[in-house]
Amino acid sequence: HADIAMYRAKKLGRNNYQFYTPAMNEESLERVRIETALRNALERDEFVLYYQPQVDLSSGQIVGMEALIRWNHPELGMVPPVRFVGVAEETGLIVPIGAWVMRTAAAQNKAWQDAGLGRLRVAVNLSARQFGDPELIGGIEAALADTGLDPECLEIELTESLFMSDVTPAVDLLHRMKALGVKLSIDDFGTGYSSLSYLSRFPIDVLKIDRSFVADITDDANDAAIVSSIIALAHNLKLSVIAEGVETAEQLHYLSSQGCDEMQGYFFSRPLPAADFEQMLREQRSLPPVMSLADETAF
Ligand code: C2E
Ligand code: MG
Ligand code: MG
Ligand code: MG
């Protein structure tokens, strides 16, 4: 990781300089602390993946999960991604961290499948920064080969920012990624500023409706209209659609009435540590085939 070493040297120089700057505030101090500790977190095995279920609306069953990173820091405790993913992206550390996420999520999902817990799908978040990594495609391929996970069970979440400016390297990379057999989704759909034309030019499979739209669908007619339009757009393009941030039965009912395929949110479960997620999968399998959600969606 020569690039990281170089970056480290550059950053250390700047941090030393910052150390003597009187204007340094709490925020930049916290940042420096995070950045320094982040460099050792991988080798100290401090990252953890939590898993949040994705529920199919027609069956009411968990059909997939999103892997979400946390940092179990010895002093800071469980650090949420909002506090370190940005720093990891700026420093380039997201490249080795992202590779770890991919491998760990694939291995965990395969283990659950082997334990008879169902043919589930696992989604991982990919930072735009990881597209600059020449090892990206080979890394995904190796993670699949080494874990034995069926490529169809791996979903890679991209953000609209990837499609915003010079898309030529991205289009080639996405086709190479797609050629591995994985699914591609657009995370936080509707919050970016990109043109929609990329949806027909890129091999996308799934749109994830951003939770900011879902939050107000039951009392904001405009958000409700945006959500139903995204669902129609996705289906017209033969894409499947999942709503993020579903917290209430009312939101579930509206999304269901509009034909949304899948949902993810606190209404079903918060992201859980692997052991708790596994427990939930086992409990689901012990339930009769028609789960309580079927009642929720009957209308
Ligand atoms: P995201 O990919 O959009 O993930 C969904 C976020 O929404 C998660 O936050 C999840 O806990 C939260 N969420 C899910 N359901 C609900 C709900 O019903 N209500 C509310 N209020 N929130 C809900 P989390 O885990 O804190 O992750 C935040 C972001 O950090 C992610 O947003 C993603 O952009 C980034 N992230 C997480 N893990 C990774 C990773 O492994 N790699 C990269 N590059 N980014 C990651
Ligand atoms: Mg995501
Ligand atoms: Mg999202
Ligand atoms: Mg996000």
- Output the CA 188–ligand 1 centroid distance in Å: 10
- pTM for the full model? 0.89
* Contact indicator for 108, 273 with CB cutoff of 8 Å: no
Q: In the 8-state DSSP scheme, what is residue 191?
A: S
Nearest CA to ligand 1 atom 7: 245
Q: Which of 70, 85, 126, 157 to mutate to test the pocket of ligand 1 (most atoms within 8 A of CB)?
A: 85
Asked whether the predicted pLDDT for residue 17 surpasses 50, the reply is no
Residue 155's SS3 state is: strand
Q: What's the one-letter identity of residue 2?
A: A
Element (H, E) at 78: strand 77-79
Nearest bound ligand to the CA of residue 264: 1
Supply 158's token pair.
Answer: 């991209």
**Contacts (Cβ under 8 Å, ≥6 apart) of 114:** none
Q: What is the largest CA-CA distance in the chain?
A: 65
Residue 171 pLDDT class (50, 70, 90 cuts)? confident
Query: ipTM score of the complex?
Result: 0.98
Q: Pick from 51, 244, 264, 267 the residue to mutate for probing ligand 1's pocket: most ligand atoms within 8 Å of its CB.
A: 244
Least confident of 132-136, 206-210, 290-294: 290-294
d(CA 223, CA 255): 12
Q: Which residues surround ligand 4, an ion (CB under 5 A)?
A: 188
Q: Is the CB of 85 under 6 A from ligand 1?
A: yes
DSSP 3-state of 232: helix
Length of the chain: 299
**pLDDT tens digits for range 59-103:** 999 999 999 999 999 988 999 999 999 999 999 999 999 999 999
- Alpha helices by DSSP H, listed for 122-216, are 136-147, 168-179, 198-201, 211-215
pLDDT tens track for 191-218: 887 778 888 888 999 999 999 999 999 9
Cα(212) to ligand 1 centroid in Å equals: 13
Q: What is the pLDDT of residue 293?
A: 54
Nearest CA to ligand 1 atom 20: 245
